[in-house]
Structure 1
Amino acid sequence: MPPSPAVPWFAYACLALSTGLVGSYVGLSKLLLLAFPVFLLAWLRFGIAALLMAPWVKRAPEEPRLDARSRRLLFLESFIGNFLFSICLLFGLQRCSAVVAGVILAGIPAAVALLSWLLLGERIARRVLAGIACCVLGIALVAGGKSGAGETSALGALLLLAAVFCEAAYVVIGKQLTARVSARRISSLINLWGLALVTPLGLWQALSFDFTAPALSDWALLGFYAAAASMITPWLWMSGLARVPAAQAGVFMVFLPMATALVGLLLLGERISGAQLLAYGLALAGVLLATAPRRLRA
């Protein structure tokens, strides 16, 4: 029997850290929304990250030049996975608690499986369909519900659901990009596209914004948000995604809603109800059904 391939522990660590960081800044961004309007916040995030990642833009000598297909994929990766995801997420968070957002975002692995079927023609097994059904049921339980931080609107739930599919598209497109472009360069280029896309809206809100109003702690949190959201997490995610299949990488999305809910519970003073706890369990069960392999190999 041929020897089993080595377990890519480095890739697993990158994927787990990336999704954990995303979940943490999803919760913390609720604090930033109290100090900055949505489009200005997104513009500042991309702008700060562009300065931090300036050395990553240049192509490495051993890296091939970008072809037309790679350029299109980079634009779609940024437009769907960066720009639209950020807008849907931030507007959705204004209308939902972090705990509810965590339950809805738990549907990302099932959404990855669904998009793989629609866009890549992959066959979806019955257990994956059951996982999608669990995630949808979990989302239905929290849509329009209440949390310790206030009421969750149907619009907020729909915006977060749109963010789920934006992030799923980010995974599917990113897997294709990592075959030709380095993780660092992907991160820097999609951030530049995001900056270009949000600049008109960001400038519009900047003209009427009082930049002396946010506290020093708000600016410090903004710096962490920019570095984590646009620089560290994409680099970690693309580094891991380059070494494992996309479906297997989807398993690690479970850390995103867990971290989001933990931030809401521990730092934002939110509470979780029995219905939300049940919804959380259904969403996590959906993750396991949709992404667990049929069997474990030695």
Structure 2
Amino acid sequence: MTTLRAHLACMLVVCIWSGWITISRYGVHSSLQPADITLLRYTTALIIVFPLILRYNWSKFKLYQYLIVGLGVGFPYTMASFYGLQELKAAHAGVLVNGMLPIFAAIAAWFLLAQTVSRMRYIGISLVFLANFIMTGGDTFSGAHISGIVLLLSAAIFYTTHMVCLKLWHFDWKDVIVTVPVVNVLIFVPLWFFFPTNLLHGEAVDIVSQSFYQGIMVNIIALMCSTYAIKRLGTITVSIYMSVVPISTALLAWVLLGEALNNFEFAGIAACSLGLFIYSRSQISENKHQSSRLVSEVPQMK
């Protein structure tokens, strides 16, 4: 039952994160600046979880651990994502951020967490990786988009660091939802004054929608679910789920932003689906094999 809840948590994160890329793409082309959206995200979350902050045991982890976990999914991640979204379509941003997570996570988990992956699961990861790049159609990687590519790949590295360190240092969801807003409000609020801003003249609908989705849906609910899932399923499996985001983002952007899907994107969706099927089937098979082995090793009662 715990494993089922973890998989359901991953599915919810995929839904929320897909909406996040779409609404962020809308936000950076609205009356708000990237720094404004970032500020709204963490101050809103801080207000919501403030009672938990007052009761939290801040001696539980070391300062550098709070900083790495908090900033990994904090303003360096959001600012890199938002400025990247000013240059690239939502679907392509999803490819570069979430589509790269399985690769970065597999490398990091192998080095830091000693997590190993079977050959079939590597095939599944490779297919997902290939599918995400098929979706770009090749035009994303032109010289005109180089700064956006670098920013979005940086965002993927930041988020991978966050995911791996959650697992490495045993952060629970209760730790994360207080750590992220506190760390980012303390560090980013002074920096906000040095970035371009239009917050005081922003449209009310933009401010409210970004505050709600960024601060509550993403920074509280999605972080709770992803942390819960990482603790129970591991970094690599959760990153595979996150790599579905480009597909769902492309569909949402098509419906909500009018960003039409082309043949490359349809082919990418098909290849990604196949990769996810191979990965999930391999994982189920490995779990059954492991369970059978454990049962066979239990001494028989006489």
Note whether the superposition's TM-score is higher than 0.5: yes
Residue 163 of structure 1 deviates from its aligned partner by 2.0
Mean Cα deviation higher: 263-272 or 157-166: 157-166
Structure 1 position 15 matched with structure 2 position 10: yes
1:116 aligned to which of 93, 102, 109: 109
CA separation of 1:205 and 1:166: change in aligned 2, threshold 3 A: closer
2:51 aligned to which of 49, 55, 64: 55
CA separation of 1:14 and 1:136: change in aligned 2, threshold 3 A: closer
Equivalent residues in 2 for 1:1-298, closer than 5 Å: 6=1, 8-34=3-29, 35-59=31-55, 65-68=59-62, 71-104=63-96, 105-131=98-124, 133-138=126-131, 140-141=133-134, 142=136, 145=139, 153-177=145-169, 179=170, 181-205=171-195, 209=198, 211-212=200-201, 214-224=202-212, 225-287=214-276, 292-293=282-283, 295=285, 297=288
Residue 119 of structure 1 deviates from its aligned partner by 2.6
Q: Deviations over 1:64-93 (max 9, x none)?
A: 94143xx32221112223232212211111
Residue 102 of structure 1 deviates from its aligned partner by 2.7
Report the counterpart of residue 296 of structure 2 in structure 1. Answer: none
CA separation of 1:37 and 1:161: change in aligned 2, threshold 3 A: same
CA separation of 1:284 and 1:198: change in aligned 2, threshold 3 A: farther
Q: Distance in 1 between matches of 2:137 and 2:153?
A: 10
CA separation of 1:100 and 1:84: change in aligned 2, threshold 3 A: same
Q: Deviations over 1:232-265 (max 9, x none)?
A: 2112222333333333333432443233222211
User: Would you tell me which structure has more helix in proportion to its own residues?
Assistant: 2
Is the contact between residue 144 and residue 152 of structure 1 (CA under 8 Å) also seen in structure 2?
Answer: no
Is the contact between residue 70 and residue 176 of structure 2 (CA under 8 Å) also seen in structure 1?
Answer: no
Residue 101 of structure 1 deviates from its aligned partner by 2.0
Give 5+ residue unaligned stretches, structure 1.
Answer: 1-5
Cα-Cα RMSD: 3.0
Residue 7 of structure 1 deviates from its aligned partner by 5.1
Q: Which AA in structure 1 matches 2:198?
A: F
Is the contact between residue 40 and residue 211 of structure 2 (CA under 8 Å) also seen in structure 1?
Answer: no
Residue 193 of structure 1 deviates from its aligned partner by 0.9
CA separation of 1:8 and 1:99: change in aligned 2, threshold 3 A: same
CA separation of 1:287 and 1:114: change in aligned 2, threshold 3 A: farther
Q: Which AA in structure 2 matches 1:155?
A: S
Report the counterpart of residue 295 of structure 2 in structure 1. Answer: none
Q: Distance in 2 between matches of 1:240 and 1:92?
A: 27
SS at match of 2:13: helix
Q: TM-score, normalised by structure 1?
A: 0.80
Give 5+ residue unaligned stretches, structure 2.
Answer: 292-302
Q: Distance in 1 between matches of 2:277 and 2:105?
A: 13
Is the contact between residue 166 and residue 227 of structure 2 (CA under 8 Å) also seen in structure 1?
Answer: yes
Q: Distance in 2 between matches of 1:137 and 1:8?
A: 28
State the structure with more CA Rg: 2
Q: Distance in 2 between matches of 1:288 and 1:152?
A: 35
SS at match of 1:243: helix
Q: TM-score, normalised by structure 2?
A: 0.79
